[in-house]
């Protein structure tokens, strides 16, 4: 069976982030992929997403690929496997480390709803979007999309933990942990912070920094 094409949708208007996002895309282990970049500096984000996704081939998989976030090289491969094995309409991560570029602090976001995935981590079949196009709003189009599809049709994973059958959990240290890291910076399209963000453990902070600032990846960010 051929691997389905994964179309990564990358909204951007910040050239300082785009090169790093392209580098993360180039390092993905999933072979059948294509990056769709569009300028989101004007207009409703939902409308812009619809315009770009409409250009993707029928039968493909859509993955959100925000320009300011870091993705592990195995992210696409693991999410495609999860999407296919669960039969879900949408998959994504329900928690994620956040790195503040101004303070160099790392926090950890946890969503109590086990069927709500962070927008930056969404992956879904194009056919799902065909039935539920994004609402033409300036922001928060991701959560409205999940709501329209139905949270019971959304399956989520932890971005930093692997779960064993006995219920224990281990950090993904041996599997390019974490799967994603989001950045907090002055240009975020939605506010960050609040009760769902907690200070990261020293171990997690070290892991996050090793992902964002590896010596062997060009153009590592500077805070």
Residue 1 domain-assigned (yes or no) = no
The pLDDT assigned to 162 comes to 65
Residue 173 corresponds to which tokens in the numbers above? 């240290």
Instruction: Kindly list the distances between the CA atom of residue 187 and the CA atoms of 13, 181, 191, 202, in Å, as whole numbers in the listed order.
Output: 10, 16, 10, 27
Domain membership of residue 153 (yes or no) is yes
Is the pLDDT at 43 greater than 90, yes or no?
Answer: no
**Within-domain flag for 222:** no
Residue 219, domain member (yes or no): no
Residue 127 lies in a domain: yes
Looking at the predicted structure, is the pLDDT value of residue 222 above 60? Answer: no
Task: Please answer whether residues 79 and 61 qualify as being in contact, where contact means their C-beta atoms are separated by less than 8 angstroms.
Answer: no
The pLDDT-based confidence of 188 (bands split at 50, 70, 90) is low
With respect to residue 26, please indicate whether it lies within any of the assigned structural domains.
Answer: yes
Contact 126, 53 (CB under 8 A): yes
pLDDT, tens digit, for every residue of 119-152?
999 999 999 999 999 998 767 899 999 999 999 9
Containing structural domain, residue 24: 6-212
223 domain residue, yes or no: no
CATH code, domain carrying 152: 3.90.550.10
Pick from 86, 71, 80: nearest CA to 118: 71
Does 165 or 34 have the greater pLDDT score? 34
Look at residue 185 and tell me if it is in a domain: yes
Residue 33 scores a pLDDT above 50: yes
- CA 105 → CA 180, 217, 222, distances in Å? 16, 21, 13
- Average pLDDT across the chain, whole number: 86
Pick from 41-50, 167-176, 188-197, 199-208 the range whose average pLDDT is largest.
199-208
Lowest mean pLDDT segment, chosen from 19-28, 31-40, 145-154, 169-178: 169-178
Higher local confidence (pLDDT), 98 or 215: 98
In angstroms, the CA 219 to CA 223 distance is 12
Mean pLDDT of 99-121: 93
As to burial, measured by CB atoms within 10 angstroms (0-12 exposed, 13-18 middle, 19+ buried), residue 87 is exposed
Domain count, the chain: 1
pTM score, whole prediction = 0.86
* Banded model confidence at residue 193, pLDDT cuts 50, 70, 90: low
| pLDDT(39) > 90 | no
Q: Which two tokens stand for residue 221?
A: 């960010």
Could you report the per-residue pLDDT of 66-103, keeping only the tens digit for each?
998 999 999 999 999 999 999 999 999 999 999 998 89
């Amino acid at each position: 069976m051929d691997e389905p094409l994964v179309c990564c949708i990358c909204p951007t208007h910040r050239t300082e982030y785009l090169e790093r996002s392209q580098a993360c895309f180039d390092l993905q282990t999933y072979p059948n992929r294509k990056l769709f970049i569009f300028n989101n500096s004007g207009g409703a984000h939902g409308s812009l997403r619809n315009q770009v996704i409409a250009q993707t081939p029928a039968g493909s998989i859509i993955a959100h690929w925000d320009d300011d976030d870091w993705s592990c090289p195995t992210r696409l491969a693991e999410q495609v496997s999860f999407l296919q094995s669960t039969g879900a309409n949408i998959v994504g991560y329900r928690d994620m480390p956040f790195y503040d570029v101004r303070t160099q602090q790392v926090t950890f976001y946890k969503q109590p709803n086990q069927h709500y995935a962070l927008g930056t981590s969404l992956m879904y079949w194009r056919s799902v979007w065909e039935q539920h196009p994004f609402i033409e709003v300036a922001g928060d189009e991701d959560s409205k999309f999940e709501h329209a599809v139905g949270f019971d049709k959304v399956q989520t994973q932890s971005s930093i933990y692997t779960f064993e059958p006995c219920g224990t959990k281990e950090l993904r240290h041996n599997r390019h942990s974490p799967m994603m890291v989001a950045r907090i910076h002055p240009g975020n399209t939605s506010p960050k912070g609040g009760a769902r963000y907690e200070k990261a453990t020293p171990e997690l902070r070290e892991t996050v920094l090793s992902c964002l600032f590896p010596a062997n990846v060009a153009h590592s960010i500077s805070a």
